[in-house]
Chain A
Amino acid sequence: MDDITVLKLKGISKTFHGVRANSDVDFTLKKGEIHALLGENGAGKSTLMNIISGLLQPDKGEIFIHGKRQKIQNPRRAIQLGIGMIHQHFMIVPGFTSLENIILGSEPIKGVTIDFQQARRQIAILSDDCGLSIDPDAVTEDLPVGIQQRVEIFKALYRNAGILILDEPTAVLIPQETDTLFKILRKLVKKNISIIFITHKLQEVMQIADSISVMQQGVIKGVFSPEETDEQALAELMIGREVLLKNDYLPARPGKIVFEVKKLTVMNSRGYEAVSDVSFRVREREIVGIAGVQGNGQAELSESIAGLRKIKSGEITLSGRRMPALNPRKMIENGLAHIPEDRLKHGLVLPFSIADNQILCTYYRRPYVHFFGRNPKAILKNSRKLINRFHIKARGPEEAVQNLSGGNQQKVIISREFSRDSSFLIANQPTRGLDVGSVEYVHKQLIMLRDKGLGVLLISSELDEILSLSDTILVIYRGRVCSIVRKEDATMESIGRIMVRGFE
């Protein structure tokens, strides 16, 4: 590896409304290396990368690219300087083909029209060069996530990016896709492209990075090579305290059946069968995990169970009683707790206060109503109690939920759902987008509930999570349950294979 520095940051500081997001950050990227930037959510990684890619201006500090001091006023300038950013939420225009997505903003022109021939040729050359293939005429939004990400990488390469920044690139990928991505990154590095890899996943850092910078609360805590450190040390540096990386929870002692689904078939919004003939049961003191690549019917399954989606056929039984379809209140009153997949859309009313969000399911009952209206005293009292019990970081019960961090928003949902007297919980992607500290917290809470006697249905596309928490694992593929495995018999590889093709 060359020792040429391509990017150097010196003393970068950035403050938002009095909160230091970056303070005095130094960072060096060498040519042809993969440099991981490790840190929890809110540690300041994204701020730093947005400064490099021209979306934000630093309050203080200098940026050097190839040894020359540069000011990056806007994304256009960053692109000119050879910086390509691959955002966590893909910047793919709906309805556009991959070709259109790639050339957008840097279109080759012939006369007055876009020179599509020329663009096609350039993409073909890039394809050969990097050993990456894509279909330029496919509509990008319809492609699998892994391929969409490849289109994003193409976008950067098409602009001759010498520095690639990947923001949490594996958050949306299954293990096999992650492996493919890593192979691609290795190939790019051989072509002398330098990569900044932002993540909070420790194993990945150890697997792919040539050097690792750990960031905590806006400060770089240290720069290491993977040989001179280990996961435990990195985790402690990143969080600032000791953490449990491995969950060694006590095994479950399942009791009687609390929840049962028989021959359930559900259609998706387009009118196709999304869940086909699914049957399973969940017992007391047991966590049943549903593993699967996103979009294989998990959303429809959990919505139908929660009473939010029409059932085509089949039946759902909760606490021994058959449940009517499309009646969420009835489900809740019968002991259902629900952590929805998209907390911003279905879990919370963002402009409402924490206190109001915590009584969304019980607002119509005493003590939250008295006489003809709300009982603010009881609502606030309840909220203060829950904020303390679940360690929600907020200025008070009246703060709007939209001002909280992702982890604390999830805590608000958890506090609401766990404070009721329920017997069954569906948790759909309960830790998506949360940092290590919050993930650990959510996991502990799930286990605690299980041990308290609840049946838990855990739906997650994070295999690690499914494997470490579930007592029984179902694998869902194209709406069907393809495999039921006990925890002891499950391995990452076998389940990963079933997830992508439906059989071992």
Chain B
Amino acid sequence: MITASKAKTDSKDRIFFFLSGILLLSIILYSYWISPLVTVAILTSSLRQSTPLALGALCGLICERSGVMNIGIEGQMLLAAFFGFLVNVWTGSLLLGVISGIAAGMLAGIIFALMTVSMKMDQIICGTIVNLLAAGLTGYFYPTGINATGKLKAYSFPFLSELPLVGPVLFRVSPIVFSTIILVFLVHFLLFFTQWGLRTRAVGEYPRAADTMGINANIVRFYNIIIGGFFAGLAGAFLSLEAVGVFERGMTNGRGFIALAVMIFGKWTPIGAWGAALLFGLALAVQTQLQFDQVLSIPHQFTGMLPYLITIIVLAIFIKRNRPPGSLGVPYEKK
């Protein structure tokens, strides 16, 4: 009976996603036919806007799949954006900037892991600590009036970038946007086809079962949080070194939290989360375009609501039907 009901909702979902996919595709093709330039601009922009959300969601789901609720992604991103920017200013190297951004994200992950896994503190409180710490540190040490040495530039793939529509959108992209697409599929593969993935999921669902099979649940959680920090760090580096080119106070602007919503919407799977991130990215891009074109004579505050409105509606519809990992948020203690 259980499996039957599961299969029923699954196939319903599949049809729903399939139909909305076709609908979306036809809208895109139609609008490309009407005005190719605007369409390419919107799609490129949604891919860029979705990048930090997808990376944040990867961080979130690597933690949550092993049973740790990480609401400190926002803070990890902010720290990464800050240190990435500073190192870039000091050394003049964008690559070193990105690397130190990632390192900062992972370092914040280590702090979070020490608190939640080793000291078994409440995970929500620890996440809040990371967020407050990041906001405070970056706000206080924020140096005004310095500029980065440029930002990461888009790279054009030969031949592929000449294709209509997909060329400029997918193959004329900046490095972090492009790596994100690869990372999404990589993490999906790792999570469902490798030893690490199987163990991570087991620890997230039922750590005692993993423990009796000789898997140290707390060690798995510890390094998963640090791996998650890699993705949050990359997201931060994207914001300051690729998207904006400068650090601003509070520049993550809630993306770490939207990333969590994106992860839930995507049912804790990387590809699902990526799809959700693209949807939010599209909402953000359409909103910007609407403000830019001034085609609608409504105040920009209303168009600005669009992405957040979508977040609320989507979560209200989907959050009930999605089942989180069994031991999410519960520290594992041996008897």
Known: A74-B214, A93-B209. A100 touches B194 (CB 8 A): no
A270 to B194, CA, bound (A): 33
A87 to B213, CA, bound (A): 12
Whether B212 and A87, one on each chain, are in contact in the complex, defined by CB atoms closer than 8 angstroms, is yes
- Give chain B residues whose Cβ lies under 8 Å from the Cβ of A85: 212
B-contacting 9-mer, from A101-109, A278-286, A489-497: A101-109
Q: Once A and B bind, how many residue pairs between them come within 8 Å at the CB atom? A: 73
In the complex, residue of chain B having the shortest beta-carbon distance to the beta carbon of A76: B214
Interface centre among A92, A100, A112, by most chain B C-beta atoms within 10 angstroms, is A112
Query: What residues make up the interface of A, taking CB atoms closer than 8 Å to B?
Result: 50, 53, 55, 74-76, 79, 85, 87, 91-96, 100-101, 103-107, 109, 112-114, 139, 142, 155, 270, 272
- Give chain B residues whose Cβ lies under 8 Å from the Cβ of A93: 201-202, 205-206, 209-210
Interface string of B97-118 (1 = CB under 8 A from A): 0000000000000000000000
A-contacting 9-mer, from B1-9, B143-151, B230-238: B1-9
Whether A270 and B198, one on each chain, are in contact in the complex, defined by CB atoms closer than 8 angstroms, is no
Known: A91-B209, A105-B215. A96 touches B202 (CB 8 A): yes
- Give chain A residues whose Cβ lies under 8 Å from the Cβ of B205: 93-96
Closest A-B pairs by Cβ, 10 of them: A105-B213, A76-B214, A91-B209, A113-B193, A107-B195, A93-B206, A93-B202, A93-B205, A91-B212, A142-B2
Within 8 A of A (CB), among B166-217: 193-195, 198-199, 201-202, 205-206, 208-215
A477 to B142, CA, bound (A): 69
- Give chain A residues whose Cβ lies under 8 Å from the Cβ of B320: none
Interface string of B301-335 (1 = CB under 8 A from A): 00000000000000000000000001000000011
Known: A55-B335, A76-B214, A270-B5. A92 touches B195 (CB 8 A): no
A342 to B193, CA, bound (A): 38
A74 to B213, CA, bound (A): 10
A91 to B202, CA, bound (A): 10
In the complex, residue of chain B having the shortest beta-carbon distance to the beta carbon of A101: B209
Whether B5 and A94, one on each chain, are in contact in the complex, defined by CB atoms closer than 8 angstroms, is no
Q: Which of A92, A107, A112, A139 contacts B198 (CB 8 A)?
A: A107
Identify whether the interface residues of A are mostly helix, strand, loop, or mixed.
Answer: loop
Whether B202 and A79, one on each chain, are in contact in the complex, defined by CB atoms closer than 8 angstroms, is no
Known: A96-B205, A142-B2, A270-B5. A75 touches B326 (CB 8 A): no
A79 to B195, CA, bound (A): 18
Q: Which of B194, B202, B209 contacts A113 (CB 8 A)?
A: B194
Whether B208 and A91, one on each chain, are in contact in the complex, defined by CB atoms closer than 8 angstroms, is yes
Report the minimal beta-carbon distance from B306 to chain A, rounded to whole angstroms.
Answer: 35
Report the minimal beta-carbon distance from A198 to chain B, rounded to whole angstroms.
Answer: 16
A331 to B5, CA, bound (A): 34
- Give chain A residues whose Cβ lies under 8 Å from the Cβ of B201: 93, 95-96
A233 to B214, CA, bound (A): 40
Q: Which of B1, B199, B214 contacts A79 (CB 8 A)?
A: B214
Within 8 A of A (CB), among B28-68: none
Q: Which of B5, B194, B209 contacts A104 (CB 8 A)?
A: B209
Report the minimal beta-carbon distance from B189 to chain A, rounded to whole angstroms.
Answer: 8
Report the minimal beta-carbon distance from A136 to chain B, rounded to whole angstroms.
Answer: 14
Interface centre among A50, A93, A106, A113, by most chain B C-beta atoms within 10 angstroms, is A93
Can you list 5 contacts pairing A with B, beta carbon distance less than 8 Å? A55-B334, A74-B214, A75-B212, A79-B214, A114-B195
In the complex, residue of chain B having the shortest beta-carbon distance to the beta carbon of A50: B335
A114 to B199, CA, bound (A): 11
Interface centre among A50, A94, A139, by most chain B C-beta atoms within 10 angstroms, is A94
A272 to B199, CA, bound (A): 34
A100 to B215, CA, bound (A): 14
A398 to B204, CA, bound (A): 37
Known: A104-B202, A104-B210, A104-B215. A94 touches B195 (CB 8 A): no
Whether B214 and A105, one on each chain, are in contact in the complex, defined by CB atoms closer than 8 angstroms, is yes
Report the minimal beta-carbon distance from B308 to chain A, rounded to whole angstroms.
Answer: 32
- Give chain B residues whose Cβ lies under 8 Å from the Cβ of A100: 198, 202
Known: A75-B214, A104-B199, A155-B213. A91 touches B194 (CB 8 A): no
- Give chain A residues whose Cβ lies under 8 Å from the Cβ of B193: 113-114
- Give chain A residues whose Cβ lies under 8 Å from the Cβ of B198: 100, 103-104, 107, 114
In the complex, residue of chain A having the shortest beta-carbon distance to the beta carbon of B1: A272
- Give chain B residues whose Cβ lies under 8 Å from the Cβ of A114: 193-195, 198
A107 to B198, CA, bound (A): 9
- Give chain A residues whose Cβ lies under 8 Å from the Cβ of B210: 93, 104-105
A155 to B212, CA, bound (A): 11
Whether A112 and B199, one on each chain, are in contact in the complex, defined by CB atoms closer than 8 angstroms, is no
Whether B194 and A106, one on each chain, are in contact in the complex, defined by CB atoms closer than 8 angstroms, is no
Whether B206 and A94, one on each chain, are in contact in the complex, defined by CB atoms closer than 8 angstroms, is yes
Q: Which of B2, B206, B213 contacts A75 (CB 8 A)?
A: B213
Whether B199 and A105, one on each chain, are in contact in the complex, defined by CB atoms closer than 8 angstroms, is yes
A390 to B298, CA, bound (A): 74
- Give chain B residues whose Cβ lies under 8 Å from the Cβ of A96: 201-202, 205
Report the minimal beta-carbon distance from A481 to chain B, rounded to whole angstroms.
Answer: 20
Q: Which of A76, A79, A92, A103 contacts B209 (CB 8 A)?
A: A92
- Give chain B residues whose Cβ lies under 8 Å from the Cβ of A87: 212
Whether A91 and B2, one on each chain, are in contact in the complex, defined by CB atoms closer than 8 angstroms, is no
Whether B206 and A91, one on each chain, are in contact in the complex, defined by CB atoms closer than 8 angstroms, is yes
- Give chain A residues whose Cβ lies under 8 Å from the Cβ of B2: 142, 270
A270 to B9, CA, bound (A): 13
Whether A91 and B213, one on each chain, are in contact in the complex, defined by CB atoms closer than 8 angstroms, is yes
- Give chain B residues whose Cβ lies under 8 Å from the Cβ of A50: 335
Interface centre among B3, B194, B199, B213, by most chain A C-beta atoms within 10 angstroms, is B213
- Give chain A residues whose Cβ lies under 8 Å from the Cβ of B214: 74-76, 79, 105-106
